[in-house]
Amino acid sequence: MVDKAQLPEINSLMDKVISLCKRRGFIFQSSEIYGGINSCYDYGPLGAELKNNLKQAWHKAMVQKRGDVVGLDSSILMHPRIWEASGHLQGFTDPLVDCKKCKKRFRADHLLELKGLKPDFRQTDFGKLNIKCPECGGSLTGVRDFNLMFKTYMGAVEDQAAEIYLRPETAQGIYVNFENVRTAANKKMPFGIAQIGKAFRNEITPGNFIFRTREFEQMEMQYFVQPKEAEQWFGYWQKQRLDWYVSLGLKKNNLKLRKHQSGELAHYAKAAVDIEYDFPFADKELEGIHNRGDFDLSRHQKYSGKTLEVLDDVTKTKYLPYIIETSGGVDRSVLAFLVDAYNEVEVRSGDTDGKHEKEVVLKLHQDLSPIKIAVLPLSKKAPLEKLGQEIYGALKENYMCAYDTTASIGKRYRRQDEIGTPYCLTVDFDSLEDNKVTVRDRDSMKQDRLATAELPDYFRDKFKC
Ligand code: ATP
């Protein structure tokens, strides 16, 4: 495997995206004024919009447009027995090795990957490979299991009885609510439960900006099926999920499906396929699709003592459903969409003040763009300002809009291109006479001149809402 982080031109794409994120207020280092905290990030005004748009698009595709999947918002803190039943207390570990010299920590599977070997450290006699510390060349310790769950205490007394965990995945909240949701929502098999929420993992080596962090958001859907239909649904969801990323603009040739080898499978999985994205640093997992069999429901049934079986309407026999899971990361997706949308083009905005040779156009899908329409009166003079404000006031009822009268029009176009605004609307002196404005399309640069009265229909047509 090529370690793309070694290639300077690719490195610079990540650097450019990270710099844009900070400069324009998509993503900031968390606790920056205190020197920052490793691998934690805050979403600024534009980042918060982008992230919300992404989550809404997921919820729309996974819940709203289907009849067979319902939503859930379960709590982060849950009964500690859940993590025994799920296998996380025993098995949610990563293989840790320490450098004896510089004391840095690494994941054994990642070190194998760097050497172009299969990441299957359990099948490999790691010690015999004589792998050295990638940072300082020092010798490494043997492989130890390191549990990734964050532990804390509930209540005033910090003893073992009060130990509780921050959830490392949202899925368990779905499994333990399976029966509640099935009966309350009156769902027939097969059906799914979807939720978006925070998850926490004490990762050994967080990094690559928001790709791997210790606090992150997941969008997970668990689809409950008859065991004999599991294989078919497993294939179905792989296609659905891959198509979803493409429908929101990710370039198809940057995406691929990768099937897990048997030694790589997580403790719960019968089969697993990753949707991988060609990130600037490597091809990496964006989302996992898993056939979890009846592992989860059988374990929760056993540990809780509550039956979770359902009745087969035809045969009148009871069975424990199998689960097909789609598990994606919100933050990883945000990174993929930003990297994929980042374009540098020849100067085109008309900004003649800036001494620049290239301009950035963030070609985000319009459903994801933080700002949908920027209203840009050509001058700050009172009559133009008044008309501009009227138009802005009407449009912001339905769309996230920006209003900007500062700087030259070229500079303002450039600012909006850089943050991915699909439409810029200019109000000029002729507008005062003919009540018409100009709308510029970010991607085609086509300009439409239309009456202000036509704007609601025009944008309803553009945004399909
Ligand atoms: P990886 O192998 O990269 O650690 P994983 O196989 O442990 O990922 P899953 O447990 O399948 O990941 O989690 C589902 C999704 O949650 C991942 O595809 C990813 O998008 C997201 N995710 C998991 N861990 C992190 C993290 N530390 N930071 C950001 N997103 C994460």
Cis peptide before 190 (omega within 30 of 0): yes
DSSP 2: -
Nearest atom (ligand 1) to Cα of 203 = 27
- Cα of 327 vs centre of ligand 1, distance in Å, is 8
Q: How many beta carbons lie within 10 A of that of residue 257, not counting itself?
A: 13
Note whether 333 and 372 are same-domain residues.
no
Nearest atom (ligand 1) to Cα of 201 = 27
In a domain, 195, yes or no: yes
Does the predicted TM-score (pTM) go above 0.85? yes
- Cα of 272 vs centre of ligand 1, distance in Å, is 13
Cβ–Cβ under 8 Å, residues 320 and 298: yes
Note whether 50 and 186 are same-domain residues.
yes
CATH code, domain carrying 235: 3.30.930.10
- Its sign, for the CA torsion 85, 89, 94, 95, is negative
* 3-state SS class at 63: helix
Note whether 291 and 203 are same-domain residues.
yes
pLDDT computed for residue 9 by the predictor? 52
Note whether 306 and 448 are same-domain residues.
no
Pocket test for ligand 1, best of 218, 277, 324 (most atoms within 8 A of CB): 218
CATH code, domain carrying 430: 3.40.50.800
Backbone angles phi, psi at 392, to 5 degrees: -60, -45
Instruction: Report which secondary-structure segment, H or E, holds 326.
Output: strand 322-329
In a domain, 27, yes or no: yes
pLDDT computed for residue 126 by the predictor? 76
Looking at ligand 1, which residue's alpha carbon is closest to its atom 16? Answer: 329
In a domain, 140, yes or no: no
The rounded average pLDDT for each run of 10 residues, N- to C-terminus, in the chain (465 residues) is 48 92 97 96 98 98 98 98 95 90 91 81 72 92 91 90 95 98 97 98 95 98 98 98 98 97 84 97 97 97 98 96 98 98 94 85 98 97 95 98 96 97 98 97 97 98 93
pLDDT, tens digit (0-9, with 9 covering 90-100), for 183-234: 999 999 999 999 999 999 999 999 999 999 999 999 999 999 999 999 999 9
Q: Which residues contact 254 (CB under 8 A, 6 or more apart)?
A: 277, 278, 336, 340
Note whether 297 and 385 are same-domain residues.
no
- Cα of 376 vs centre of ligand 1, distance in Å, is 41
Pocket of ligand 1 (CB under 6 A): 201, 203, 212-213, 216, 218, 285-288, 327-329, 331-332
Please, which contacts does 87-90 make with residues 24 or more away whose CB atoms are closer than 8 Å?
A: 87/267, 87/268, 87/295, 87/299, 88/149, 88/165, 88/168, 88/172, 89/147, 89/149
pLDDT computed for residue 2 by the predictor? 43
Name the residue type at position 41: Y
Domain that includes residue 249, residue range:
4-77+166-338
pLDDT, tens digit (0-9, with 9 covering 90-100), for 75-101: 999 999 999 999 999 989 888 999 999
Looking at ligand 1, which residue's alpha carbon is closest to its atom 26? Answer: 212
pLDDT computed for residue 339 by the predictor? 98
Backbone angles phi, psi at 126, to 5 degrees: -55, -45
- Cα of 149 vs centre of ligand 1, distance in Å, is 13
In a domain, 278, yes or no: yes
Structural domains counted in the chain:
2
Final residue belonging to a domain, choices 338, 372, 398 = 338
Cβ–Cβ under 8 Å, residues 230 and 294: no
